Amino acid sequence: MAEPVLQLSDLRKNFGALKATDGVSLDLRQGEIHALIGPNGAGKSTLIHQICGSIRPDSGIIRFLGEDMAGLDMAARVRKGLGRSFQISSLAPEFSALRNVMLAVQARQGSSFRFLRPVASDGSLTGPAMAMLERVGLEARAKVPAAELSHGERRQLEIAIALALGPKAFLFDEPMAGLGPEGSKRLTGFLDGLRHEAPILLVEHDMDAVFALADRISVLVYGRIIATGTVAEIRSDPEVRRAYLGDAA
Amino acid sequence: MMALSRETLVSALLLVLLVAIPVAATMAGEPFYVTLATRIAILALAAVGLNIALGLGGLVSFGHAAFFGLGGYVAGIFATHAFNGEPLPFGIAATTSMPVIWLSAMALCGLVALPIGAISLRTSGVYFIMITLAFAQMIYYFAVSWPSYGGEDGLSIYVRNGFPGLNTAQPLPYFLLCLGVLMAGLVLFQLIKGSRFGTALEASRQNPTRLAAVGIAPFGIRLVAFAVSAMVTGLAGALFADLNRFVSPSMLSWHMSGELIVLIILGGKGRLFGPLAGAMVYVLFEYALGGITERWQFFLGLILLGVVLFARGGLLGLLAGKARHG
């Protein structure tokens, strides 16, 4: 079998006596959506932060495309091809939707130390950025400052920015949060097709979306992965039902 | 025809005023007003420099007087050595040629700004303000305690440095020269603002996490912005020393750093013509009220208070409305 795109081995992180990440091993394979679920406080955010490079694990290894990511900061990991969206939309609020995506396009081109040429008339930035907005259905709102977009539109913009980076793996942190049933359904359809571009590690509370999308699911409880398996396996796992799913399954 | 925004109109008006007053004053035989306008142009240029770091990058440097003063000392030291016919340290030939002095001032300020920035930018918020202040104070006390260049008393420039093809000793040509440099500074600011670098820099102000999450480390962007900002302010310092034919540690003092920040807040931070609007109001207050009362800064304080409370976009924001980004 091919080497996994992203591989966590025995990752540990303590905050005082709290074992936020307690020996987590997990992998993300080419072409799949791997959902990470778990109750609030299970340590999902801490885990995401370690993968992205904003929290350093106490021990354990994170490999991305076979390379140890220790010592690389967030920006460096993104340049290696790890594209992410945030649990709470994180955008440049004064920039228009288009310019937010243009920032990602210029970052991908690796050329931010250019001081003179105006970006507004630079087709190599506006063209791909507009194409990404069209993919997420936000092209009509291209000129609107991010701060004036609705909550749902901001979520779409986050996805467009991640797409513009052309990453080798996506890390989506609750992309459905606050979208409402209609929005969730649309995004579910969109993510379904996206897995063929790059595999997705999906942290999500919306179980309908998770069950519809995931090739595999890992369940995190108190910093530990208590089960990993297909949707059917997870739904029938007694320990998972007790710890997390309850009536939902 | 393209509709002109109100901000463009207000900016053009400011520029016309800045040019018209000294020209009229020269014709009326009142060179004092030319000097006043030159002072406005130079302070505006210094603030344009700071505006790159503060306005675009959100980096509240409370130490930009360091660069303003260093630029001034470069002009003063070159002039003194040239006057005495002595070479500078490291065998650099002394000269009274402004282009050489300007380039030297900018190079020195860039070189000094890199280590200051590299250390200061590891912090943010109040700590950044305090560290930049601390560095500037170090340079201030160094100048005070260095007797070979006047120490506390400062350094006089007996003959204003020269520019090829211009009689810089005359007020109007020197004003026009400073105006030209200011215009170049404004063009540079506008180009940076619209460029890829400016996009990254403004993103680092609005949301550094977002910038990192597209793969651009904010630190490098901020460091370069800090250095470029210091170079422009240093250039203004060199012009200022030549305007007064005098440079002293007061150009390096924290009052000066504060003054530059006030100019930007007053005029409108991050706006192209904010520093010019700020400098005009500041110098006019200093002149008009300074003649009546020594406590003119009290009234300036009131205006500043009003701007901060009611017009966050500064005077330009008040006159021209909210800034829109593309």
Size of the A and B interface in Cβ pairs below 8 Å? 109
Per-residue confidence (pLDDT) for residue A150, from 0 to 100: 94
Rounded Cα distance between B75 and B251, Å, is: 13
Question: Which residues, numbered 236 to 255 in chain B, qualify as contacts with chain A under a Cβ-Cβ cut-off of 8 Å?
Answer: none
Listed in sequence order, the residues at least 6 apart from B84 whose beta carbon sits closer than 8 Å to its beta carbon are none
Q: Is the CB of residue B213 less than 8 Å away from at least one CB of chain A?
A: yes
- Chain B residues within 8 A of A112 when measuring between CB atoms: 196-197, 199-200, 216, 221
Residue of chain B whose alpha carbon sits nearest to that of A143? B326
Determine the Cα–Cα distance for residues A110 and B45; give it in Å rounded to an integer. Answer: 32
| Facing A112 at nearest CB: one of B191, B197, B212 | B197
Query: Please, which residues bridge with residue A8 across strands?
Result: A26, A62
Tens of pLDDT along B185-206?
A: 999 999 999 999 999 999 999 9
CA distance B89 to B96: 16
Q: Assign A1 a pLDDT band (cuts: 50, 70, 90).
A: low
Flag if A95 and B325 touch (Cβ within 8 Å).
Answer: yes
ipTM score of the complex? 0.91
Mutation site for B-interface testing, chosen from A86, A111, A115, A154 by largest number of B Cβ within 10 Å: A115
Residue contact A86–B213, C-beta within 8 A: yes
Half-sphere exposure of B123 (CA within 13 A, CB side): 13
**Segment A61-83, tens digit of pLDDT:** 999 999 999 999 999 999 999 99
Q: Give the Cα separation of A57 and A51 in Å (integer).
A: 9
- The DSSP string of B12-43 is HHHHHHHHHHHHHHHHTT-HHHHHHHHHHHHH
Q: What pLDDT is attached to residue B296?
A: 83
Q: Which two structure tokens, joined as six digits, stand for B103?
A: 């380039």
Q: A73 to chain B: which residues are within 8 Å by CB?
A: 212, 217
pTM of the model: 0.93
CA distance B105 to chain A (A): 21
Residues 6 or more apart whose CB falls under 8 angstroms from that of B182 comprise B41, B42, B44, B45, B48, B276
- The pLDDT-based confidence of A246 (bands split at 50, 70, 90) is low
Q: For residue A116, which residues of chain B lie inside 8 Å, CB to CB?
A: 191, 195
Portion of chain A with pLDDT greater than 90, in percent: 79
Compute the mean pLDDT over every residue in chain B, rounded to the nearest whole number.
93
For residue A125, list chain B residues with Cβ-Cβ distance below 8 A: 196
What secondary structure does DSSP assign to B71-127, as a single string?
A: HHHHHHHHHHHHHHT-PPGGGPPP--BHHHHHHHHHHHHHHHHHHHHHHHTTS-THH
Is A107 within 8 Å of B216 when comparing Cβ atoms? yes
- Pairwise CB contact (< 8 Å): A116 & B195: yes
Rounded mean pLDDT of B122-148? 95
Do A119 and B194 lie within an 8 Å CB cutoff? yes
Question: Taking phi first (over 0 means left), then psi (-120 to 50 degrees means alpha), and beta for anything else, what does residue A6 get?
Answer: beta
Residue B177 phi/psi, 5° resolution? Answer: -60, -45
Q: Which residues contact B243 (CB under 8 A, 6 or more apart)?
A: B35, B38, B39, B42, B174, B178
Q: Which long-range contacts (CB under 8 A, 24 or more apart) does A115-119 make?
A: A115/B191, A115/B192, A115/B195, A115/B196, A115/B197, A115/B198, A116/B191, A116/B195, A117/B195, A117/B196, A118/B191, A118/B194, A118/B195, A119/B194, A119/B195, A119/B196, A119/B198, A119/B199
Report the 3 state secondary structure along A168-225.
Answer: CEEEEECCCCCCHHHHHHHHHHHHHHHCCCCCEEEECCCHHHHHHHCCEEEEEECCEE
Q: Which residue in chain A has the smallest CA separation from B325?
A: A95
For B216, nearest residue in chain A (alpha carbons): A75
Average pLDDT over residues A239-245: 79
Of A84, A90, A111, the CB nearest to B207: A90
Residue of A nearest to B219 (CA): A75
Chain B nearest-CA distance from A212, in A, is: 28
As a whole number of angstroms, the distance between CA A240 and CA A2 comes to: 29
Contact status of B215 with chain A (Cβ, < 8 Å): yes
Residue B119: how many other CB atoms lie within 10 Å: 13
> Most confidently modeled of A5-19, A36-50, A170-184, B36-50?
B36-50
**pLDDT for residue B175 is more than 90:** yes
Rounded Cα distance between A208 and A215, Å, is: 14
Number of Cβ within a 10 Å radius of residue A63 = 17
Cβ–Cβ below 8 Å for A103 and B203? yes
Q: Which residues of B touch A94 (CB under 8 A)?
A: 202, 206, 325
**Quick one: CATH architecture of A1-81+167-249?**
3-Layer(aba) Sandwich (3.40)
Q: Is residue A247 predicted with pLDDT exceeding 60?
A: no
Instruction: List the domain boundaries for chain B.
Output: 42-257
Q: Name the band, by pLDDT with cuts 50, 70 and 90, for residue B122.
A: very high
> What's the CA gap between A161 and B8, in Å, rounded?
32
| A96 contacts in chain B (CB < 8 Å) | 325-326
Longest dimension (CA), chain A: 62
Whether B240 shows a pLDDT value over 90: the answer reads yes
Token reading at B243: 């305007």
Residues of B in contact with A86 (CB under 8 A): 209, 213
pLDDT at B5 over 90: no
Interchain CB distance below 8 Å, A95 and B213 = no
What span, in angstroms and rounded, lies between the C-alpha atoms of B323 and A57? 43
Nearest C-alpha neighbor of B44 from the set B239, B205, B300? B239
Q: Which one of B199, B215, B217 has the shortest CB-CB distance to A165? A: B215
Identify each DSSP E strand in B126-235 by its residue range: 155-156
Kindly report, residue by residue over B256-297, the tens digit of the pLDDT: 999 999 999 999 999 999 999 999 999 998 888 888 888 888
Chain B residues touching residue A115 (CB < 8 angstroms): 191-192, 195-198
One-letter identity of residue A183: G
Q: Could you tell me which chain B residue has the CA closest to the CA of A142? A: B326
What ranges do the domains of chain A cover? 1-81+167-249, 94-166
